[in-house]
Amino acid sequence: MLGYAVLFFIIALVAGVLGFFTLASAAAGIAKILFFVFLVLFIISFIFGRRRV
């Protein structure tokens, strides 16, 4: 999931440089959402993965 977030961030950068600002904005929004979903899932798996008895 983090790989997809980085991919969309790179797409946003390239689109912004080329002048496709609407596409860049959409790709940046998707990258931000994917990053936060990754972050939440990482924290949840870190907390519950350490609770082995």
10-36 tens-digit pLDDT? 999 999 999 999 999 999 999 999 999
Domain boundaries, the chain: 2-48
Higher pLDDT, 28 or 53: 28
Tokens describing residue 31: 């990258």
Is 50 a residue whose pLDDT tops 80? no
Q: pTM for the full model? A: 0.77
What is the predicted pLDDT for the residue at 52?
Answer: 66
DSSP three-state, residue 52: coil
> Crossing angle of helices 2-18/21-49, nearest 10°?
160
Distance between CA atoms of 53 and 27, rounded to whole angstroms?
43
